[in-house]
Amino acid sequence: MRWTAPLDRREIGFILLCLGTYFVAYNIEITLQVLGIDAAATKGAVLSRLGVGSTVIGDDGRKPAGWRDSLELDIFGTWQWFRGHVAGDGTERSQLTGSGRHGAQWVALKDIEDVGGLQKPFGDSTVNDVLQNWGDDIPQTRLVNHASGYTTLDNVYLLNGSVYLVTDSGNTLPAMSTILSSTGAGFKEWQAISPQEGRTIFGKSGSTIRGVSWMHADSTPDNFTLFALWRTYSSLDTSITSSGTTSLPLPRRLIFPHNTFFTDPDPNVEAPYRKRQRFDTGFHPYTAKAAFPFLSVMYKQDWEDYHAMTVPFIFERLVIADRSAAVKAGQPAYASALSLESSTHWWEPVRKNMAQYLGEYEVKKRSKKDITYIHNQGTSGAKLSDEDHNILVKSLQNLAWKEGHEINIISTELTHTNWTTRMTGIVKSSIVLGVHGNHLLDGLFMRPSPQSTLLELFPANTFVRDRELAVRSVGLQYRALRDTRYVRHLGIVNAVVDALS
Ligand SMILES: *[C@@H]1O[C@H](CO)[C@@H](O)[C@H](O)[C@H]1NC(C)=O
Ligand SMILES: *[C@@H]1O[C@H](CO)[C@@H](O)[C@H](O)[C@H]1NC(C)=O
Ligand SMILES: CC(=O)N[C@H]1CO[C@H](CO)[C@@H](O)[C@@H]1O
């Protein structure tokens, strides 16, 4: 075989042209940049016009400016877009409560970091951090703080009907009876085991229940549950400031392991629809959602779900309140939680959340005071005679009119005064008063000031300190007025004037 004629000049020129065209086309982006065209912005679009690319979509999901047609404008509109945000004019990033067509509230993720001074609601963990592989080194249960009935523990294990505290002899936990009143029948069994036993029972790994969990371990509900749990938990940060700033991560869940969501038995699936009675947790459901917006509430069924699964679950941090374990002669049950070390401003983060939720955190008027009278008239709770009640309302209204104060008359009956009206009145008040009872506990959310006072009216032969200790522990003043006959003598109104002076 022999070569055809050597390449002539025309053929060499032709081959060089082909190679040149190939390199220019292959490196079109750089070529365009050399020619002064912003290749990154127009990438795709140019290529597709040239018939060599397939994508025409930028990072914002749109065609590059200059390549947009009317269809694109019809679909997308003229919204601006910034990385990390949905497109819009900026108002979509946050909306205060009460505004907007549906009264919905939303907050940008980066601002959630410091809602009400409570940081990192979602923590740092990712979807990949569910399983804990501990191998032979099983994490031990650690006591974080403890007073009778109020306990914080790290690494608490759940498996098949039992709760385990894993500890070697060097790590002593308080007696189980001071943590929980009931550890056996009717409630899943709780027991302390050695790391050796732990390895046998759980194996080498388990599923982590991340973040801070709260538990109301007593089988009967209590009006002080949220108060006592926050008191126990907040004692882990003794430097909470008067502006409610704390580094504590938000509690994620509150578990009622004894109680079902509904108090009546589950109806037959074919039964006609009827409204069912929800379990009384001891706090209004809105109160938990406004003051602890990241706290979900779980019931017996959820608790049983954990136990029905075949892997061990581990609470990263569990704060337990058990009123029955805390009951000590004469003292309100939550009093032992008050013995834990704390900041004097421990309640402020919670109050601030509530006040901000209601749009009443900023003090709007300095000289005028708000006074809230919470009454039980028309309900089965403790109350004044209708005549006394009417005189008191008139006298308070007179006082408010003369001194330029504002008076809120609030019924505990929710069909009469809804939750928003009630709490809005209370969070801006300097005085909250009413006949004795736990309905006055909402007074904990009143605006703190040297004058702020809860006035509780008692008949001659009754007195309990439940509200007094709670109210004083958050730095508010407290006065008990005995004998409702004082109403006619304007004793209550004088007490209001006293407190405000
Ligand atoms: C769970 O406990 C029950 C007894 O309470 C037992 O019969 C069952 O075998 C246990 N299941 C597992 C997976 O250990
Ligand atoms: C609560 O009551 C107030 C006053 O009666 C009313 O303006 C408001 O719309 C009510 N809010 C809700 C959520 O029902
Ligand atoms: C669980 C519980 O004790 N709930 C009570 C809380 O306080 C209100 C007002 O006094 C009662 O109506 C609840 O029954």
CB-side neighbour CA atoms (13 Å) of 119: 7
What would the pLDDT profile of 251-289 be if each residue is shown by its tens digit?
Answer: 999 999 999 999 888 888 887 788 888 999 999 999 999
Evaluate if residue 115 carries a pLDDT over 70: no
What would the pLDDT profile of 298-321 be if each residue is shown by its tens digit?
Answer: 999 999 999 999 899 999 999 999
Which DSSP symbol is given to 145? E
**Atom 12 in ligand 3: residue holding the nearest Cα:** 439
Q: Of 280, 376, 417, 419, which is best to mutate to test ligand 3, by the most ligand atoms within 8 angstroms of its C-beta?
A: 280
What would the pLDDT profile of 433-457 be if each residue is shown by its tens digit?
Answer: 999 999 999 999 999 999 999 999 9
Residues lining ligand 3, Cβ inside 6 A: 221-223, 280, 282, 437-439
CA of 420 to the centre of ligand 2 (A): 7
Residue 119: Cβ-neighbour burial (10 angstroms; 0-12, 13-18, 19+): middle
What would the pLDDT profile of 456-497 be if each residue is shown by its tens digit?
Answer: 999 888 888 999 999 999 999 999 988 756 556 667 788 888
If one counts every other C-beta atom within 10 angstroms of the C-beta of residue 228, the result is 29
DSSP for 210-232 reads EEEEEEE-SSS--TTHHHHHHHH
- Ligand 1 contacts CB of residue 398 (under 6 A): no
CA of 226 to the centre of ligand 3 (A): 13
Closest CA to 424 of 356, 350, 368, 358: 358
CA pair distance 258, 267, nearest whole angstrom: 20
Q: Please tell me the number of the ligand nearest to residue 224's CA.
A: 3
- Ligand 1 contacts CB of residue 55 (under 6 A): no
pLDDT at 45: 54
- Global pTM value: 0.77
**Contact between residue 396 and residue 336 where contact means Cβ atoms under 8 Å apart:** no
- Ligand 1 contacts CB of residue 160 (under 6 A): yes
Closest CA to 108 of 127, 121, 99: 121
Q: Please tell me the number of the ligand nearest to residue 161's CA.
A: 1
Closest CA to 368 of 409, 408, 404, 407: 404
CA of 439 to the centre of ligand 3 (A): 7
Q: Which of 87-91, 152-156, 246-250, 354-358 has the lowest mean pLDDT?
A: 87-91
The CA–CA distances, whole Å, from 315 to 132, 149, 174, 231, 478 equal 11, 19, 18, 20, 38
Q: Which of 161-170, 401-410, 426-435 has the lowest mean pLDDT?
A: 161-170
- Most confident listed range (38-42, 45-49, 221-225): 221-225
Secondary structure string (H, E, C) spanning 389-401: HHHHHHHHHHHHH
Closest CA to 331 of 470, 204, 232: 470
CA pair distance 144, 213, nearest whole angstrom: 14
Averaged pLDDT, 419-440: 95
DSSP for 86-118 reads -SBSSGGG-B-TT-STT---B--HHHHTTGGG-
* Average pLDDT value over all residues in the chain: 85
CA of 378 to the centre of ligand 2 (A): 20
pLDDT at 445: 97
pLDDT at 2: 65
CA pair distance 164, 354, nearest whole angstrom: 36
CA pair distance 231, 114, nearest whole angstrom: 20
pLDDT at 43: 52
Domains of the chain: 131-352 (no CATH), 361-500 (3.40.50.2300)
Q: How far apart are the first and last CA of the chain?
A: 119
CA of 380 to the centre of ligand 2 (A): 24
**Contact between residue 350 and residue 230 where contact means Cβ atoms under 8 Å apart:** yes
Averaged pLDDT, 224-243: 95
- Ligand 2 contacts CB of residue 418 (under 6 A): yes
Confidence at 119, pLDDT banded by 50, 70, 90: very low
Per the DSSP assignment, residues forming a β-bridge with 280 are: none
Tokens at residue 70, please? 């009317």
- Ligand 1 contacts CB of residue 103 (under 6 A): no
- Mapped onto helix, strand or coil, the DSSP state of residue 480 is strand
pLDDT at 48: 55
**Atom 10 in ligand 1: residue holding the nearest Cα:** 160
Using CA atoms in the order 184, 189, 195, 200, what is the torsion angle rounded to 10 degrees?
A: 120
Which DSSP symbol is given to 14? H
What would the pLDDT profile of 320-352 be if each residue is shown by its tens digit?
Answer: 999 988 886 667 889 999 999 999 999 999 999
- Ligand 2 contacts CB of residue 183 (under 6 A): no
Secondary structure string (H, E, C) spanning 280-308: CCCCCHHHHHHHCCCCEEECHHHHHHHHH
**Element counts in the chain: helices (H) and strands (E):** 18, 14
CA pair distance 283, 276, nearest whole angstrom: 18
Q: 12-29 in b/e burial notation, b at 16+ Cβ within 10 A? A: eeeeeeeeeeeeeeeebe
Centroid of chain to Cα 408? 28
**Contact between residue 429 and residue 408 where contact means Cβ atoms under 8 Å apart:** yes
Per the DSSP assignment, residues forming a β-bridge with 321 are: 150, 216
